[in-house]
Amino acid sequence: MSEAITVTAQSAASLETRLAQFPAQQVVTAQRIVSYREAGAANTEALPLVLLHGIGSGAASWVQQFEGLGSTRRVLAWDAPGYGASTPVDASSPVASDYANVLKAWLDALGIGRCMLVGHSLGAIVAGAFAAANAHRVAGLLLVSPAGGYGAASPEVRASKRDARLAMLAELGPAGLAEKRSANMLSAYADDTARSWVRWNMSRVVPHGYAQATHLLANADLASDLAAFDGRVAVAVGAEDSITPPAACERLAQLARAPFQIVPRAGHAGYIEAPSAYNAILDTFCRAGAAGVVNAANAGQRSL
C-alpha cells in the first residue's frame, strides 16, 4: 500500500472515530427527513449556533467546530436537502427559498426560535435567504467564503455555469469529484489530514442532491437577500481561496455593510484546514452577538 493511501486511510479512520461522538440524527417534519449532527447542551443560555455546509460537503465537515465550540453552546449542522439522509427539495431547479423553507421547518422541529447562523459557500446562499425571510430568528449571520450565486447574471452565463458543473458530475461521479476537485478546496498549507477529510466528505455527496444544488447556485442571488436583511452580518474568507476569492467576498461584505476578515494561509474550506482560526472567528461572532442582545434588552428596560 502506498504511503499516500495509507495516510488517507488512517485519516478517514480518525475522522470517523471523532465523528462517532456526534452521531447523525434525523428529524421528520412535513413528511420530510432532515439529517443532522450536534454538540453541546440544549439547555445552555447561549443561542444555538447553526452551521450550513457547501455544495461538496455535509454535516460531518464541521466536526472540529463541534469539538471546539460545543463546550459553550449548542452547535448544530444539517445535511442540506438531498445530502446525507435528508429528503431532497421537490423542485428540479430549486431556488434559495426552497432550502430556506426546509431550514425553517427543521429549526421549528428542534424548538430553535433564534440562533446564530453560519453559511459556508453554497450554505451562505441558504443562510441569506432564510435571514431575509426570518430576520427575527437570526441574531447574527456569518458568511464564510460565501458563494454569491449567478441569479443576477445573463441567462447564457447561468446556463453555462450550471451545465458545466452538471457535466462534471455526470463524468466523474462523487468519487471522481473527490479525487479530482477536492484539492481546489484547500490552500497549499493544508496538511494531509485536512485533504483527506475534504475528500471523505465530497465522496459522499448524493448525485441528485448535488445536481439540485447546482441549479440552486445558478438561480440564486445572495446579494439581493443581503440587501433585504437589516440584521447583523459578518464575512470571512481564506486568503488563498480560489473558489470564492477575497475580492468577491469583500464586495458582498461592502453591500451588507458588514465587517470583513481575511484568514491567512487558508483556502475555501478554511474551517477544515485552519480550525483554530475559524473557531475563534465563530466564537467571537457569537459572543459579540450575545452582548448586543443583552445591551439591547437593557436599553429597552431603561426606556420603560
DSSP structure string for 187-221:
-TT--HHHHHHHHHHHTT--HHHHHHHHHHHHH--
What domain range includes position 129?
3-286
Indicate the pTM of the whole model: 0.92
**CB-based contact 44:51 (threshold 8 Å):** no
In the prediction, which pLDDT does 274 show? 98
The verdict on residue 181 lying in a domain is yes
**CB-based contact 60:201 (threshold 8 Å):** yes
Q: What percent of the chain has pLDDT over 70?
A: 91
In the prediction, which pLDDT does 291 show? 59
* CATH number of the domain encompassing residue 84: 3.40.50.1820
pLDDT at 10 > cutoff 70: no
Confidence of residue 289 (pLDDT cuts 50, 70, 90): confident
In the prediction, which pLDDT does 42 show? 73
Contacts of 69 (CB under 8 A, 6+ apart): 39, 40, 49, 75, 279, 282, 283, 286
Burial category of 280 from C-beta neighbours within 10 Å (exposed 0-12, middle 13-18, buried 19 and up): middle
The verdict on residue 255 lying in a domain is yes
pLDDT at 98 > cutoff 60: yes
The verdict on residue 298 lying in a domain is no
How many whole angstroms separate alpha carbon 142 and alpha carbon 160? 29
| Inter-axis angle of helices 155-181 and 192-202, nearest 10 | 120
| Residue 64 Cα distances to 86, 120, 128, 262, 265, angstroms | 22, 15, 24, 20, 18
For 48-52, 143-147, 178-182, which range has the lowest pLDDT when averaged over its residues? Answer: 178-182
The verdict on residue 293 lying in a domain is no
pLDDT tens readout for residues 223-244: 999 999 999 999 999 999 999 9
Q: Is 31 left (phi over 0), alpha (psi -120 to 50) or beta?
A: left
Q: Beta-carbon neighbour count of residue 242 at 10 Å?
A: 12
What does the pLDDT average to over 32-37?
A: 97
The verdict on residue 292 lying in a domain is no
- Domain count across the chain: 1
Confidence of residue 41 (pLDDT cuts 50, 70, 90): confident
pLDDT at 94 > cutoff 90: yes
